């Protein structure tokens, strides 16, 4: 654990904070949920729990690889929300179109970043 790179813990902190935000500001996440998904509130809270668990999982060698693959899967599923924000002005929340577009490849960049820690 002492030999782990500092940026692994930065990533863990990002996911822990992002997960907590689902509980502190659920309205933001409810607004961006695609209309075809059921139980928006449940999904917002469940995704927050998942982000917290995966972020914490990065911090411990026995859970690190499952957390990494979980993060990659989660980011893939979250593409639904990002595409919804591109097509629904209400979900876009006034963000410029270029930011919404950049968020798509950013998801892949975040997935690659996580993948670089496999078998650390």
| DSSP letter (8 states) at residue 96 | -
Within 13 Å, how many C-alpha atoms sit on residue 19's CB side?
20
Q: How far apart are CA 104 and CA 76, in angstroms?
A: 10
- Name the helix (H) or strand (E) containing 19: helix 6-24
Are 68 and 117 within 8 A, CB to CB?
yes
Looking at residue 119, what is its pLDDT? 82
Position 80 scores a pLDDT of 94
| Residue 77 pLDDT | 96
Predicted pLDDT at 96? 95
What is the separation of C-alpha 31 from the centre of its chain, rounded to a whole number of angstroms?
16
Residue numbers in the chain where pLDDT is lower than 70: 1-2
In this prediction, residue 1 carries a pLDDT of: 59
Cα–Cα distance, 56 to 13 (Å, whole number): 8
């Amino acid at each position: 654990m002492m030999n782990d790179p500092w940026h692994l813990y930065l990533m863990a902190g990002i996911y822990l904070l992002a997960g907590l935000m689902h509980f502190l500001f659920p309205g933001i996440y409810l607004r961006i949920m695609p209309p075809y998904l059921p139980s928006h509130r449940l999904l917002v809270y469940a995704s927050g729990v998942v982000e917290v668990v995966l972020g914490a999982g990065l911090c411990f060698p026995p859970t690190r690889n499952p957390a990494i693959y979980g993060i990659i899967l989660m980011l893939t599923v979250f593409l639904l929300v990002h595409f919804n924000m591109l097509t629904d002005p209400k979900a876009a929340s006034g963000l410029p179109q270029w930011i919404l577009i950049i968020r798509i490849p950013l998801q892949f960049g975040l997935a690659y970043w996580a993948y670089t820690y496999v078998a650390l």
